[in-house]
Chain A
Amino acid sequence: MLANEKLILALPRGRIMDDVMPLVRHVGIEPEPAFFESGSRQLRFATNHPGLDVIMVRSFDIATIIAFGAAHLGVAGSDVLMEFDSREIYAPLDLDVGHCRIVVAEPEDLVKRDNPKRWSHVRIATKYPEITRRHFAARGVQAECVKLNGAVEIAPTLGLCERIVDLVSTGATLKANGLVEVEEIAKVSSRLAINRTASKTRSEEISDWIGKFRDAVHAVAA
């Protein structure tokens, strides 16, 4: 059960943080100094707003944390929201950072002899089994997914599978592993994600923060 009086904002660790922090600052949220210490084991941080705490978690976990109401709002990639596909999460605002794409890729030589129309079943290595299954099911192909949490691009050369579904931004990693993009599934960017129950039971506070983030997106873009 969740009885936190404070609002909790979940932010993703890692590289994406550099893109997100300017927005967070623009909104007027300043986390305590420990937030920026790389060696810190702390996971929850106070901010200059007494009613708001920040937590730092892996970007893939943010959707789960918000769906269960453990955090009220957060920054999540649209890839993660698509994969999790929860009815308990609202994603009202595109933050216009963290742009990349989810694509299907396969080895170059396979492209030449492959006829996608004849597929009834494909085996695919991916971090996104749900997105992959839905995407292929929509065109009548059954996707058997091998779930990997990283280094997905290496799977075809190891004979684990022939194709992968993964994020690309520049395409350099694909190229380095002899893969080519054959299909784009979706464009990805970071979204402001909101817990549904919180958006109903604390609607004034939540709309206030959405408004501030919206202004920040416009200001940073300008």
Chain B
Amino acid sequence: MTQTAHRALLPAGLTDVLPPDAAFEARVREGLVQRFSRYGYDRVKPPLIEFEDNLISGSGAATASQTFRLMDPVSQRMLGVRPDMTLQIARIATTRLADEPRPLRLSYAGEVLRVRGSSLRPERQFAQVGAEIIGSPSPEADAEVILMAYEALAGLGLAELTVDLGLPTLVPAICAALGIDLDEIGDRIRPALNQKDATAIAALGGGVAEALGALLDAVGPAASALKALNGLALPDDGAVGLQHLQDVVSLISRGAPGLKMTVDPVEIRGYEYHTGVTFTLFALGSRGELGRGGRYLAGNGEHGGEPATGMTLFLDAVIRALPAGETEQRLFLPAGSDSKTATRLREEGWIAIQALDEALPAEEAARAHGCSHILVNDEIRKITPAEKDT
């Protein structure tokens, strides 16, 4: 007993996904990628492990501390297990697919591994399903991925969705205009902004407290937030960013009137590599975020990278937010059933389970296999389901 229990123990944050959850997860994952393909996002499949410097260079630095590493005995170089797939897609787009026409639309689904889970999502391995559009700087591109994510989640049956839009370039722009070195006071500003701690911001004093305080006050529903932000005197690059955000908001409100929008111009978390509008998706009543994305520079070309935007859905969070999947109907074929009939029924879409012997009476065996139906004299009959002690 102890032996079995020991063998069952998995490292923290890792789980076995069992029936019927594994099949449900696979259906949801494929459904999402298929939906993205309807918008012309072609699927790519990068490897699980890459050279460490590829994964954590440049914009990957933000995820460096979340990367599992191992030594490659062949190349004698350090390898990293991907903690995120966006950078791999950017690498593919700007190297192997560099000659493809722009904008380039790519989608992906795969497992990622992280050193630590968070308190809300303790999983260290989970699936990401996402889409990236590379080579377009226009707000239409941002709106396209956000609307696509919204439609995908709504299509799964999630109601009351909210997208929280951010502009992580605004705070650095304001600080630069005030002649403040963000590297110096960033450690004090970031936690305060992320906690929306108006007291700590006010304690900074001077122009920076006033400017950041005004941004904090603007946080909220998109309409009122944009109105408040438009009333502020912003530096030029800040104003350009705000105009872009505004365009995205109006495109979304036209495309998806049912999607609630909030704007949070001070949120800077895990967005260290973003260069423009970012977003996070939430559903009413579900715990934590379902997915996020935003604008970044793909690759390090001669012009300093290509403008790109994209989104990633966290499959574990999406599944948790969904109502339980419908159990499929299963048909029990008693021992000695005709194999041609079985083939025909399977082609019709039945899950048909063939009995191998007659150790148990047919109906009892059917229940033990979780079947809802049984084949008796070539006729499909419904059976009363077994009481399952779970």
Contacts and interface: CB of A to CB of B under 8 A. Distances in A.
A154 interface: no
Interface in B298-343: 320-321
Given A90-B195, A92-B197, A203 B286 contact: no
Contact of B196 (A1, A69, A86, A91): A91
A202 interface: yes
B52 interface: no
Interface residues of A, number: 26
A191 B196 CA distance: 11
Given A1-B287, A87-B269, A197 B220 contact: no
A201 B119 contact: no
B282 A1 contact: no
Interface in B183-203: 194-199
Most chain B beta-carbon contacts within 10 A, residue among A81, A86, A194, A203? A203
Given A90-B196, A201-B260, A203-B262, A2 B221 contact: no
A67 interface: yes
Nearest to A70: B287
B162 A93 contact: no
Contact of B220 (A94, A191, A207): A207
B160 A68 contact: no
Nearest to A93: B198
A88 B196 CA distance: 11
A23 B77 CA distance: 61
Contacts of B282: 197, 200-201
A203 B287 contact: no
B285 A91 contact: no
Contact of B284 (A91, A194, A202): A202
A43 interface: no
Contact of A89 (B195, B216, B285): B195
B196 A92 contact: yes
A22 B285 CA distance: 31
A201 B287 contact: no
A79 B119 CA distance: 19
Residue from A1, A87, A200 having most chain B Cβ neighbours under 10 A: A200
A215 to B, nearest CB: 14
A81 B221 contact: no
Contacts of B196: 90-92, 194
Given A88-B288, A202-B284, A67 B120 contact: yes
B76 interface: no
Interface in A176-201: 191, 194, 197, 200-201
B285 A1 contact: yes
Contacts of A201: 160, 162, 260, 282-285
A201 B288 CA distance: 10
B333 to A, nearest CB: 38
Interface residues of B, number: 30
B289 interface: yes
A92 B262 CA distance: 17
Nearest to B269: A87
Contact of B199 (A3, A86, A94, A197): A94
B165 to A, nearest CB: 10
A87 B118 contact: yes
A200 B288 contact: no
B120 A88 contact: yes
B164 interface: yes
Interface string B258-273: 0010101000010000
Contact of B162 (A69, A88, A200): A200
Given A90-B196, A200-B262, A201-B160, A1 B119 contact: no
Interface in A52-106: 67-69, 81, 86-94
Interface string B109-149: 00000000011100000000000000000000000000000
A204 interface: yes
A103 B88 CA distance: 47
B220 to A, nearest CB: 5
A173 B262 CA distance: 47
Contacts of A93: 198-199
A81 B260 CA distance: 29
Nearest to B225: A203
Contact of B286 (A2, A81, A91): A2
Contacts of B164: 200
Contacts of A200: 162, 164, 262, 264, 280, 282
Given A67-B119, A203-B260, 4 more contacts: A89-B195, A197-B287, A203-B221, A204-B221
6 A-B pairs closest in CB distance:
A94-B199, A90-B196, A92-B196, A3-B285, A201-B284, A201-B162
10 contacts: A1-B287, A3-B285, A67-B120, A81-B195, A89-B195, A92-B197, A93-B199, A200-B264, A201-B162, A207-B220
